[in-house]
A and B are shown apart, each in its own frame.
Chain A
């Protein structure tokens, strides 16, 4: 690496780091403000709250009926992960292994939902689902969440499957493996790391997916993030600390899965397919 030693480049270097530091400071401040407020007895016009308490967690858990909301959230999220995992991995396998007429069109179809704002396809889709009688139901929320998560699994898995040598499968065939044992004993173990990464990322994204769930969720099919939105929207009805306690509960559930996901993936994979290859 080349490092310039001049004064100007030194000032420039410090300026860039200062901006980056300032951003992180503000980011930490935003998250800390929520956490501190959720433990505050009273926090008005001072740097820190007067006293600390955990009572808001109990009141938030009761007021917002969080035990059922958390349960429903995980039911929805795991169903979405399961369906998009099964359909996504099989579709990605076909797209990675075969070249067929119209393949580019199919890949484009899987790319589009990630490029179009969720509300643009969410509103027509929600209208269709309401007319089918699925509005406000568990399956309505699951179906609308499949639209961004299925393509995400496909696009993460295609390069992962492409780098598995097809000769391994051919060799297994030569030694007499049937389709079933080929899949169970050869492909599944090889695919597992990629699948785990893709599915954990879908999990994190679905927990945080607000716009689409919001369009279709009813009182019994709300996820945590939608409940949080309604609570913040109607703030003033309930104590701010209670809302922030709920936000912390939401944060903990998201971070748990995020930390688990980060064991398998690079953080930048959450926004994009990993393009980093060490330059040779």
Chain B
């Protein structure tokens, strides 16, 4: 018996002509994603002057720079929690609707229009003479218009307008993935609405909610255009992406810029890993009611 040819042996391990089709796409990702990332990491430890860690020292010793981490988290974490807290009950209601299409189409609008358009609209809408303030004054909730643009709340509002639909649509796809028979079984056994939610749905939803939280957090954490246009980019809404952009493209110090970009990625990764780590403490298993 002769040994099979190299071609046959490779094919048995899943390597043949079809597998090679992955190469062009892989090459693009290696060239445009991995290489710049490694380059950036190396670039960040080759500062204009000083020892290799000079950029990181420069960032963490200047309050104007290191406070951007806190101000970014101070925006991104509350916004993500608020968006998710509203998304879950509304998704539970919408799940019962037969015609969800119109609602989901309306909600997908701000996501596709993007943060720049929303920021432009909010500048008019939330302005001192905008409809939002006028309505609140008209119904007597306010005596005088409040300032909602060019500060923290402007950026907060823009992150809710684009972030809530995102969190909602993701949550909805997880909620509708749970077999309704499970809820019916719980109701048959005498569980009321609150018990059905806390004892049945919530444990099933935790993995999905953790992923939704991470994806929504990544979006909010990367806030950039609305923090400049709607916020106070020199003050409380000087987020870390503004710091990275300014270092790289306004002070032309790409070494410091990439260092801040790496810090930004690391902070985000810590939060994401913390959330996913907490998830593993909960139930993991099928959400379908049928076998298999």
Write the residues of chain A forming the contact surface with B, with a CB cutoff of 8 angstroms.
1-4, 9, 13, 16-17, 19-20, 23-24, 26-31, 33-34, 37, 44-45, 47, 87-88, 90-91, 93-95, 97-101, 103, 106, 109-110, 112-113, 115-128, 130, 143-144, 146-147, 150-151, 154, 204-205, 208-211, 214-215, 225, 228-229, 232-233, 235, 240, 243-244, 247, 250-251, 254-255, 258, 262, 266-268, 270-272, 274-277, 279-280
Least CB distance from A113 to B in Å reads 6
Q: Which of B244-278 contact A (CB under 8 A)?
A: 244-245, 248-249, 254, 257-258, 261-262, 264-265, 268, 272
Q: Which of A101, A154, A255 contacts B25 (CB 8 A)?
A: A154
Asked whether, in the complex, the Cβ of B173 is within 8 Å of the Cβ of A272, the reply is: yes
Inter-chain contacts of A204 with B (CB < 8 A): 112
Q: Mark B211-243, 1 if CB is under 8 A from A, else 0.
A: 000110010011011001100000000000100
Asked whether, in the complex, the Cβ of A121 is within 8 Å of the Cβ of B123, the reply is: no
Residue of A nearest to B129 (CB): A45
Q: Which of B29, B94, B177, B218 contacts A115 (CB 8 A)?
A: B218
Least CB distance from A53 to B in Å reads 17
CA–CA, A78 and B63, complex, Å = 44
Q: Which of B16, B33, B112, B119 contacts A258 (CB 8 A)?
A: B112
Asked whether, in the complex, the Cβ of A232 is within 8 Å of the Cβ of B109, the reply is: no
Return 25 A-B CB contacts under 8 Å, by A number: A17-B93, A27-B110, A30-B161, A87-B24, A98-B14, A98-B19, A100-B15, A103-B14, A117-B218, A117-B222, A119-B264, A120-B262, A123-B40, A127-B36, A127-B248, A204-B112, A205-B112, A208-B113, A210-B116, A225-B114, A225-B116, A232-B120, A254-B112, A276-B176, A279-B180
Asked whether, in the complex, the Cβ of A87 is within 8 Å of the Cβ of B89, the reply is: no
Q: Which 10 residue pairs spanning A and B have beta carbons closest together?
A: A124-B40, A91-B25, A117-B222, A100-B14, A208-B114, A94-B22, A30-B121, A267-B104, A120-B265, A125-B36
- B26 contacts the other chain (Cβ, under 8 Å)? yes
Asked whether, in the complex, the Cβ of A29 is within 8 Å of the Cβ of B132, the reply is: yes
Asked whether, in the complex, the Cβ of B166 is within 8 Å of the Cβ of A271, the reply is: yes
Inter-chain contacts of B288 with A (CB < 8 A): 279
Residue of A nearest to B264 (CB): A120
Inter-chain contacts of A144 with B (CB < 8 A): 32
Q: How many residue-residue contacts, CB under 8 A, span A and B?
A: 284
Asked whether, in the complex, the Cβ of A279 is within 8 Å of the Cβ of B130, the reply is: no
Asked whether, in the complex, the Cβ of A147 is within 8 Å of the Cβ of B105, the reply is: no
User: For the side of the interface on B, what is the size category?
Assistant: 35 or more
Inter-chain contacts of B265 with A (CB < 8 A): 116-117, 120-121
Inter-chain contacts of B104 with A (CB < 8 A): 266-268
CA–CA, A23 and B116, complex, Å = 19
Known contacts A98-B19, A117-B265, A276-B173; is A34 also within 8 Å of B228 by CB?
no
Inter-chain contacts of A228 with B (CB < 8 A): 116-117, 120
CA–CA, A44 and B221, complex, Å = 35
Residue of B nearest to A109 (CB): B29
Residue of A nearest to B176 (CB): A276
Least CB distance from A277 to B in Å reads 7
CA–CA, A120 and B241, complex, Å = 8
- B144 contacts the other chain (Cβ, under 8 Å)? no
Majority DSSP secondary structure for residues of A touching B = helix
Residue of B nearest to A122 (CB): B261
Known: A33-B130, A247-B117; 12 extra A-B contacts, CB below 8 A, are: A1-B180, A27-B161, A29-B132, A31-B109, A91-B25, A215-B245, A225-B114, A228-B117, A233-B228, A251-B113, A267-B101, A268-B170
Inter-chain contacts of A280 with B (CB < 8 A): 290
Instruction: Name which of B105, B116, B180 has the most chain A CB atoms within 10 A of its CB.
Output: B116
Least CB distance from B45 to A in Å reads 13
CA–CA, A274 and B235, complex, Å = 40
Inter-chain contacts of A29 with B (CB < 8 A): 125, 131-132
Asked whether, in the complex, the Cβ of B169 is within 8 Å of the Cβ of A208, the reply is: no
Least CB distance from B178 to A in Å reads 8
Known contacts A208-B112, A211-B224, A215-B249; is A150 also within 8 Å of B173 by CB?
no
Asked whether, in the complex, the Cβ of B261 is within 8 Å of the Cβ of A124, the reply is: yes
Asked whether, in the complex, the Cβ of A109 is within 8 Å of the Cβ of B34, the reply is: yes
Asked whether, in the complex, the Cβ of A127 is within 8 Å of the Cβ of B129, the reply is: no
Inter-chain contacts of A1 with B (CB < 8 A): 96, 180
Asked whether, in the complex, the Cβ of A9 is within 8 Å of the Cβ of B177, the reply is: no
- B58 contacts the other chain (Cβ, under 8 Å)? no
Residue of A nearest to B130 (CB): A33
Residue of B nearest to A266 (CB): B104
Residue of B nearest to A44 (CB): B129
Inter-chain contacts of A28 with B (CB < 8 A): 106
Asked whether, in the complex, the Cβ of B111 is within 8 Å of the Cβ of A270, the reply is: yes
CA–CA, A268 and B109, complex, Å = 11
Inter-chain contacts of A98 with B (CB < 8 A): 14-16, 18-19
Q: Which of B89, B106, B229 contacts A27 (CB 8 A)?
A: B106
Inter-chain contacts of A254 with B (CB < 8 A): 112-114
- B146 contacts the other chain (Cβ, under 8 Å)? no
Inter-chain contacts of A45 with B (CB < 8 A): 129
